[in-house]
Structure 1
Amino acid sequence: MKTILITGANRGIGLALTKVYLQSGWHVLATCRDPLAATDLNALSATFPELQVFALDVTNFDQMTELSEKLAPVAIDIVVNNAGIYGPKGYAFGETDIEAWREVMEVNVFATMRLAELFYTHLSNSTEKIFAAVSSKVGSHTMNTKGGGYIYRSSKAAVNSVIKSLSNDLLVDGIRTVALHPGWVQTDMGGAEAPVTPEESAAGLYSVLSHFVDAQSGGFYDYKGDAIPW
């Protein structure tokens, strides 16, 4: 049985990914900040004994270290850092909240790097050896034709850069990395008007990761498997 670790698994894309991998026979290590409040996630345990739920605030690096040590004997085939935040919306040039920017960078970027460092050994001991981060096409410099959104855009561009550098460093060890655009998804972040359901996004991401090859390592792909320009 293969194993995947998914952060932010209590709702939205993370919960949908958890369901897809459980239904496909995987052992899922699902994390969220408050497992006791993760009703929908915990309900899956009745059907899927392969599910384990752990408390993890991805900005609490001591807690992340403790979890990596607790799971030290476990070979983890795929690590997906899905946890993330958008930050402020609707602000204009000259109105940027620097403290909010720091928080978004800590959640979206710093946590991605620390997760890769702490679960490197777990990935090395596995078969698939994939480290993935949920990014967004708004982090693409090429596709940025509207401006604005400085905080979220810059955090996802930074995540993409981390993924690319990790590939340069880790592919020699067999660990492949990828930045994933899940689509505009009907989540608390994406809103009800988004055209993609969490289930559609998760099914697509599952397919991308299932067919992922070394030549794609360090790349940026959407949930349909199409490459996104930097």
Structure 2
Amino acid sequence: MEILQPQSVLVTGSDRGIGLGLVNQFLEKPNPPEWVFATSMNLEGYHGKELKNLALLHPNLVVLQLDIRDLKSIEAAVQRVKEHVKGNGLTVLINNAGILVKFTCLANETPEQMASLYHTNTIGTLQVSQAFLPLLKVAAQASPKKGLSCSKAAIINISSDFSSMEEMSGWWLSQVISYRCSKTAGNMLTRCQSLEYKQFGILSLAIHPGWVKTAMGTCLVPTTVKESTSGILKVLSRVTEKDTGSFLDWEGNVVPW
């Protein structure tokens, strides 16, 4: 297994849940990244303040305000990251920020709800990836590593097995139509990124983190945040060029599209 050694990592939506878990996993590595960028929509809220307190304990942790729906907010975050990474670029972008909002079904789904989730879960992921692409290219070009890996340059999109059209996981428990559709569209975005960005030395991957006990999940779930996020880092340590454009779960298993 290759040792995961990204020089820098940015995780969106990282003031709680899986995002915060990923930030902690990177910070606790024996060989942590030089820079870990954690983002929150509201740095003055409870979770944002907790994230800022964590940064006091880790000098390599930089906390940024970022609303993935707002281009000005995204560009401001890009500029902050540039100031820290300088000419080294950004090694790994983890698009974790996303919303579920309401437990909808076909009978009560609305255009407004569908548009809201697409705006965040799909368009937000696209916008953030586009904005950080120049820094990812710089990291790939500066890396001496051959092929593709998460120690060179990578976009990791946090998906869900609810997006699998073959499995239709959890259908009888929760239809959540707009969430499923937005995440399925995000999977297609990952595939498109893998085809377009491979030429620049950037790996692209969709990952299902498992059914995790978070604010978005429920208490009746088998996987903890720590189990999920430590598993994700193990997956990131072993993916290579052959895996770009894949949809994997937190244990490294292939998830059907």
Q: TM-score, normalised by structure 2?
A: 0.85
> Mean alpha-carbon deviation: is it higher for 141-150 or for 12-21?
141-150
Corresponding residue pairs, total: 229
Verify: 1:93 aligned to 2:106, yes or no.
yes
Q: Secondary structure in 1 aligned to 2:206? A: strand
Alpha-carbon distance in structure 2 between the residues aligned to 1:120 and 1:9: 20
Q: Which amino acid aligns with 1:97?
A: T
Q: Which amino acid aligns with 2:99?
A: I
Alpha-carbon distance in structure 2 between the residues aligned to 1:169 and 1:85: 27
Verify: 1:121 aligned to 2:134, yes or no.
yes
2:229 to 197, 202, 217: 202
> Partner of 1:217 in structure 2?
244
Q: Could you list the per-position Cα deviations for residues 124-170 of structure 1 after superposition, in whole angstroms to 9, with x for gaps in the alignment?
A: 11142100111001101110274732111101100000000011101
Q: Could you list the per-position Cα deviations for residues 55-90 of structure 1 after superposition, in whole angstroms to 9, with x for gaps in the alignment?
A: 01111112102221332352111000110001320x
Identity %, equivalent residues: 29
How far 1:99 sits from its partner (Å)? 0.6
Give yes or no for contact 2:160–2:208 (8 Å, CA) kept in 1.
yes
Q: Could you list the per-position Cα deviations for residues 8-67 of structure 1 after superposition, in whole angstroms to 9, with x for gaps in the alignment?
A: 110000111000001111221111111232233222223211100000111111210222
Q: Which amino acid aligns with 2:123?
A: F
> Partner of 2:72 in structure 1?
62
> Partner of 2:201 in structure 1?
174
Q: Which amino acid aligns with 1:107?
A: T
Q: Which amino acid aligns with 1:65?
A: E
Alpha-carbon distance in structure 2 between the residues aligned to 1:67 and 1:46: 19
Q: Which amino acid aligns with 2:80?
A: K
Q: Secondary structure in 2 aligned to 1:119? A: helix
Give yes or no for contact 1:87–1:151 (8 Å, CA) kept in 2.
no
> After TM superposition, which residue ranges in structure 1, 4 or more long, deviate above 4 angstroms?
none
Verify: 1:141 aligned to 2:165, yes or no.
yes
Q: Secondary structure in 1 aligned to 2:44? A: helix
Alpha-carbon distance in structure 2 between the residues aligned to 1:181 and 1:137: 6
Give yes or no for contact 2:105–2:177 (8 Å, CA) kept in 1.
no
Give yes or no for contact 1:109–1:158 (8 Å, CA) kept in 2.
yes
RMSD: 1.5
Alpha-carbon distance in structure 1 between the residues aligned to 2:50 and 2:218: 19
1:33 to 20, 32, 41: 41
Give ranges in structure 1 of 5+ residues lacking alignment. Answer: none
Verify: 1:44 aligned to 2:68, yes or no.
no
Q: TM-score, normalised by structure 1?
A: 0.95
